[in-house]
Amino acid sequence: MPKPDFWKNNKRYYDLKSYWRNLFGCNVHKLQIDAGFSCPNRDGHIATGGCIYCDGRGSKLRQKGELPSVTEQIQSGKKFYKPHASKYVAYFQTFTNTYAPAEKLRSLYDEALAQEDVIGLAIGTRPDCLGPDVITLLSGYAKKYHVWLELGLQSMHDKTLKFINRGHNFQQFLGAVNVCAGRGINLCAHIIVGLPGETDEEILQTAKAIAVLPINGIKIHSLLALEGTALGEMYKNGSIKIMSKDKYVALVTDILEILPAEMVIQRLTADGYRDIFLAPEWAMNKLDVLNSINRELERRDSYQGNNFIK
């Protein structure tokens, strides 16, 4: 398969920056927002303790004390970019950003969209936190703005979801995708490569399942063992192993080949958390991981979508 012309980039996959330049003709940046949400997988509504890899601390802002308003967070995020040289997407990132009554959500999202040069929303959430009122709200925004809904899946295998204490199953993820389909909402699935107990084939099955769903984007994360998490304890007592870099690079390359060429690649590895980081050491060098994935695609003379099967 030759490289698709519409990517208009120098990469072997369709990255978010290129997608946004194609769509809007300018640079678009995500501005991260912690709007003070919690998570039903931590507060006992669905489960307690949270996902086994989640440190539960929220954003750095939250760790410092009282959260600034959405407006203040957007204004300070914009300072990193040239005034009026860009457009912005307000990224409600921390914890479960649809876990509140629809009127409260409307007020927070409206506040973000009222800021100059903010052209849309990206909202991170769980597939089991999307009631009909939330879907109606989001599809209303999608008629006027650029809207992404980021849905945590991590794996299509229920045995894995149970092991990592996700508190939902694959069927619930499919239900959320179906209810959003055709409403103008762009869906981005989050998956983790290297979850304990998964074979290579099982990991690729998750990619194959996502490839044929009405999903527009993906974030692929490496599994990080962090101090203070259940997974971190498992890593320290030797009951789980963390994937090697070579294996991760090979599997992510396989996944890119499986995904359709139009799917927007929003992330290819996880990073950050330096203060509580345990393993794997290689994940701390994000640029090296990205370069290695690119080199592997070059070595295979391959691109995203090469092995996509409808």
Least distance (Å) between residue 204 CB and ligand SF4 = 23
Minimal distance in Å, beta carbon 90 to ligand SF4?
19
Round the CA-based radius of gyration of the chain to a whole number and report it: 19
In the complex, least distance from residue 285 CB atom to ligand SF4, rounded to whole angstroms: 23
Helix (H, G, I), strand (E, B), or coil: what is residue 224? coil
- Comparing CB distances to ligand SF4, the nearer of 7 and 173 is 173
Q: In whole angstroms, how close is the CB of 161 to ligand SF4 at the nearest point?
A: 11
What is the length of the chain? 310
Nearest distance from C-beta of residue 43 to ligand SF4, angstroms = 9
Is residue 75 within 8 A of residue 16, CB to CB? The reply is no
Cα distance from N-terminal residue to C-terminal residue, the chain: 15
Q: CA-CA distances (angstroms) from residue 162 to 50, 99, 195, 196, 287?
A: 12, 21, 12, 11, 32
Q: Where are the alpha helices (DSSP H) in the chain?
A: 16-24, 60-64, 70-78, 102-113, 132-144, 158-163, 170-180, 200-211, 230-236, 245-258, 286-299
Q: Judge residue 125's burial from the number of C-beta atoms within 10 Å of its C-beta, 0-12 exposed, 13-18 middle, 19 or more buried.
A: buried
CA dihedral 129, 133, 135, 139 (to 10 degrees): -150
CB of 173 to ligand SF4, least distance (A): 12
Instruction: State the minimum distance, in angstroms, from the CB of residue 181 to ligand SF4.
Output: 22
Residue placing its CB nearer to ligand SF4 in the complex, 113 or 234: 234
C-alpha 139: how far from chain center: 20
- Closer residue to ligand SF4 in complex, CB, 54/130: 54
The contact set with ligand SF4 (CB under 6 A) reads 39, 41-42, 50-51, 54, 95-96, 126, 152
The type of residue at 250 is: A
Closest CA to 131 of 40, 47, 261: 40
